[in-house]
Amino acid sequence: MKFKRLMSTILCTAMVGSLLAGCGSGKNTETGGGTEPIGEKQEAEAGKVDLSEHVTLSLYLYGSPGAANEDILAEINKKLTEDINTSIEVKYIDWGDINTKYPLLWASGEEFDMAYASVNTAVPFYTLAKQGSLYEISGLLDSCTPTLKEAIGESGWTAASTSEGIFGVPSLGAGYNSYAFVYNKANCEKWGISEVNDLESFEAYCDASVKNGIYPINGNAEVAMDFYHMLEQTTGNWVPAPGIASNEMYLMCENYHSPEKIIHPAFTEEFEQFVIKLDEWSKKGYWPTDILSASTGDKEMYKNGQCTSYITHMGDWTGNYTAIHGQLPDQDIDAWYFAEDNNKVMKSSPAQDLTVINVNSKYPERCLMAIEKFITDESYYRLWQNGIEGRQYEIVDGYLEKPASFNEEVDGGGFSAWAFSNNEFKIPLRVEHPSRYEKMEEWGKNHIDDPYIGFSFDDSAVKAELSAISNVNSTLGIQLMLGKTENVKAALEQYREQLKSAGIDTVIEEVKTQVQEFASAG
């Protein structure tokens, strides 16, 4: 569900506004903050921002400054001053302070211009938009930043929208939600079995691994969620649904063409057959008996030679390929991507990483123009993402590498500028597996979009139920997903009963109601 009616309404309104008022036609709706900020907007000529005054914009990002951050930022500001007579001041929210300082930033009334936002931040993007913290930008796109408007595209702007308008600029670096069984083809040759491309060959690989005295899978309780992703992506048209946090046994949409069809898998035949299969695999020794109490993760176990495979998403294993496999012999690594079997590799929501403009910014046009440069101009992209060429990086044979002269104490640094990412400009790293970019290109031509783009679930009416459900998932749910029950069918019935008692039906009905209301509003 792309909610196209909502997007068409927003963009048509924006076009009318830009024709009437030029580049100064950005607005703050009543929901978005009420009054117009004073500043360059009032001085804007038709279709043009007055750039005669140099402006410094403040930008909040996660992380802390590295040794060379000021030098890199100086290069960015040199270019930005030449282009739009503007500079950027980066303010940092340290990693350990995110959950406290990020909400405080928005609650305090502090004056700043831009900040990183996401559907997964401590105060989610859609919450910020609904509570009036963000500047509504639809009226500025045509006249101020047409290149940015075209580059982001309809699905991106839809993800950055509510019924009140467009409240953020998503990145162009979205990944794909596809988990895989990552294994070593050298083992297949050694053991005389076929490469893994379906459930039957998966079991053959695991059986051969056990026969050769090594666990196919080894790790800790987090492996339970790996199997949950496997269930989702190997089953028909199932995709994740909102309502329950994605780090536990979440709700699912049983057909991505019909987003209102929301279920908890526990009550399906598919789930029952899957947990029975997990119970069989556990008894066959596919993973250790003490996996629930173990502390070391599966990829670290693989690195230590304690297993022959693991389950993770594409970006994880390909991006960390050298760190995991680089020191091991005979590594011919491949992956069976579960979602490919059902032609439903899903592109991550563009609202995963956004830049938002504070509703009280005096310079919203200038902010948007800066964002346009950062996302669509490769020279800015290189500075934000890689640093200064010759100092933080160099390009050798098409690969990104650190120069021989690089000194971490002097040259180290960089920014968590995820919201300025653009897949078009990414340069491969030698430490990555080359299939990373092959898959990105392949899936770019063949993927599905998240059917809930633009939707934000308000859990205020079901907080107690969600807490109770989380407790059930973290105990009996995980045990089922790792085959650690004495009687799997009896445990499944108990799990279903506990979910009912915790209020799973109430949560599902609340999610369905909100999804239907959102679709109707569009």
Rg, Å, the chain Cα set: 25
What letter represents residue 357's amino acid?
I
Question: Which pLDDT score is estimated for 160?
Answer: 94
Please answer whether residues 413 and 66 qualify as being in contact, where contact means their C-beta atoms are separated by less than 8 angstroms. Answer: yes
- What whole-number distance in Å separates Cα of residue 223 and Cα of residue 482? 8
* Domain region containing 122: 4-174+350-385
Question: Which pLDDT score is estimated for 49?
Answer: 86
Question: Which pLDDT score is estimated for 10?
Answer: 46
Q: Does residue 252 share a domain with residue 203?
A: no
DSSP readout, 46-110?
Answer: TTB----S-EEEEEEEES---TTHHHHHHHHHHHHHHHHSEEEEEEEE-GGGHHHHHHHHHHTT-
Q: Does residue 122 share a domain with residue 33?
A: yes
Q: Does residue 147 share a domain with residue 118?
A: yes
Q: Is 318 within the bounds of a domain? A: yes
Question: Which pLDDT score is estimated for 41?
Answer: 47
Please answer whether residues 219 and 310 qualify as being in contact, where contact means their C-beta atoms are separated by less than 8 angstroms. Answer: yes
- What whole-number distance in Å separates Cα of residue 322 and Cα of residue 85? 42
| pTM score of the predicted model | 0.84
SS3 276: helix
Q: Is 420 within the bounds of a domain? A: no
CA–chain centroid gap for 416, Å, is 14
Report phi then psi at 65, rounded to 5: -70, 135
What is the tally of structural domains in the chain?
3
Question: Which pLDDT score is estimated for 9?
Answer: 44
Question: Which pLDDT score is estimated for 24?
Answer: 52
Q: Does residue 12 share a domain with residue 154?
A: yes
Q: Does residue 203 share a domain with residue 338?
A: yes
As a whole number of Å, the end-to-end CA separation of the chain is 11
- What whole-number distance in Å separates Cα of residue 492 and Cα of residue 505? 17
Q: Does residue 365 share a domain with residue 257?
A: no
Q: Does residue 233 share a domain with residue 84?
A: no
3-state secondary structure 312-352: EEHHHHHHCHHHHHCCCCCCCEEEEEHHHHHCCCEECCHHH
Ranges under pLDDT 50 in the chain: 1-22, 25-27, 29-39, 41-46
CA–chain centroid gap for 20, Å, is 37
Q: What is the pLDDT of residues 64-122, one digit of tens each?
A: 999 999 999 999 999 999 999 999 999 999 999 999 999 999 999 999 999 999 988 88
Q: Does residue 156 share a domain with residue 259?
A: no
Question: Which pLDDT score is estimated for 48?
Answer: 76
Please answer whether residues 312 and 229 qualify as being in contact, where contact means their C-beta atoms are separated by less than 8 angstroms. Answer: no
Q: Does residue 333 share a domain with residue 208?
A: yes
Q: Does residue 126 share a domain with residue 62?
A: yes
Q: Encoding tokens for residue 374?
A: 């950062």
Q: Does residue 275 share a domain with residue 190?
A: no
Question: Which pLDDT score is estimated for 486?
Answer: 96
What letter represents residue 367's amino acid?
C
Q: Does residue 161 share a domain with residue 197?
A: no
